[in-house]
Structure 1
Amino acid sequence: MKFFTKEVKIGLAGIIALFFLIYGINYLKGVEMFKPSSYMYVSFKNVNGLAKSSPVFADGYKVGLVRDIIYDYNKSENVLVEVELDTDLRIPKGSSGELVPELMGGVRMNLLLANNPRERHEVGDTIPGQLQGGMMAEVANMVPDIAKMLPKLDSILTSVNHLLAHPALEETMESVQKSSKNLEVATSEFSNLMKKDIPQITQNMNLIGENFAKVSQNLSEIELNETYTKIDSAISNINQLTERLNQKDNSLGLFLNDSTLYQRLTETGENAAKLLDDIQKNPKRYVHFSIFGKKKK
Structure 2
Amino acid sequence: MDLTYKQEIGVGALVLMGLAVFTVGLFWLTGRSIKSTGVKAEVVFSNVSGLKQGDPVMVSGVKKGRVQSVKLERVGRVDVVLELASDVKPRVDASASVGSTDFFGARFVDFSPGDDQKPFLQDGHAIVGTTPPALMDVATGVATRANELIGNASGIVNQQLAEDIHNTLVATQRGLNVLTEAGSGSMIRQTTATLASVERVMAHLDTILGSGAGKRVDSLSNNLVALTNELSHATASLNGLLAKVNKGEGTLGRLASDSTLYNDLHKTLNALTDLLTDLKERPGRYVHVKVF
Shorter-normalised TM range: 0.3 to 0.5
Normalization by structure 1: what TM-score?
0.43
Does 1 or 2 have the higher relative contact order (CA < 8 Å, sep 6+)? Answer: 2
Higher Rg: 1
